[in-house]
Amino acid sequence: QLKINDLQKALNQVIFSVASHESRPELCGVCVIFDNQQVTFAATDSFRLAEKVIPLNIKAERSSKIIVPARTISEILRIIGIVNESDDGYNEIIKIGISENQLIIKIQGTELISRTIEGKYPDYRQIIPEKFKTEVSVDKIALLQAVKNAALFSRSGLHDITIKIQPEKIILSANDQQTGENTIELPAEISGEQNNVTINHRYLIDGIQSMDTEKIRLKIIDGANPMILTPELSTTHLYIVMPIRQ
């Protein structure tokens, strides 16, 4: 059992990272892992990865791992939207049942049954770095606006912007032969080394927008390794984006 608002938030924080191509069917859905008193939602298209952990109201009967098709996730969100139109929608409890290759969702008087995706979801935890050379704490809204502004000058098809971390600030820049160059400085709290990484601005914007705190943290090893975004002081939500190697 899950609270409806917890599930809605979790699904919205991961669904955009689901792969849209069919070459790897297991990536065309959200990986859902039930373990003890929590459930983990994860999605990746191999260029970025989103993970969100939320508590279960009642301990899971057994540990299990399934892949739910993206279209089923979209339908669950649609049903939640309808339920939330009622005054007490956010107090609703969602019941989730799992049988062989099937997922059953019960919300109020609505029951949704969906087949799960066969196949083995990749062990994504092994790509999540544990140690970093640089960490940045920065205002979410300011960073989002800066990325959008820099993105106007990124190279078409590459969508690249570079983030340089310097003492007490970060510098976002993009350069295109046709549109020109743009550089934006933001104040930030920096710990660790000076660093820089080049990122696809579309993936970065998705990750920033999924965070639900005023400040977010950027965690960086170097320009050749994944960058992690997390809400400030939170361990239940993370977003990983692969760098564009120069």
Residue with tokens 């990122």: 199
Q: Give the span between the Cα atoms of 68 and 42, in whole angstroms.
A: 10
Backbone angles phi, psi at 245, to 5 degrees: -80, 130
Sheet bearing 38-44, strands edge to edge = 64-69, 29-35, 38-44, 48-55, 237-241, 227-231, 215-220, 134-139, 189-192
Q: Which two tokens stand for residue 193?
A: 């080394």
Could you list the pLDDT tens digit for every one of the 246 residues in the chain?
888 889 999 999 999 999 988 888 999 999 999 988 899 999 999 999 999 999 887 777 778 899 999 999 999 999 998 888 775 655 678 888 888 789 999 988 889 999 999 999 999 999 899 999 999 999 999 999 999 999 999 988 889 999 999 999 999 999 988 888 899 999 999 999 999 999 999 999 999 999 999 999 999 999 999 999 999 988 999 999 999 986
Query: Residue 228 in contact with residue 219, Cβ under 8 Å?
Result: yes
Element (H, E) at 200: strand 195-200
Which amino acid appears at position 7 of this protein?
L
**239: CB partners within 8 A, 6+ apart:** 17, 48, 49, 50, 51, 206, 207, 210, 211, 228, 229, 230
- Whole-number pLDDT of residue 61: 74
Q: Give the span between the Cα atoms of 197 and 217, in whole angstroms.
A: 15
Residue with tokens 């983030």: 163
Q: Give the span between the Cα atoms of 139 and 38, in whole angstroms.
A: 29
Of 159, 187, 195, which is closest to residue 175 (Cα–Cα)?
159
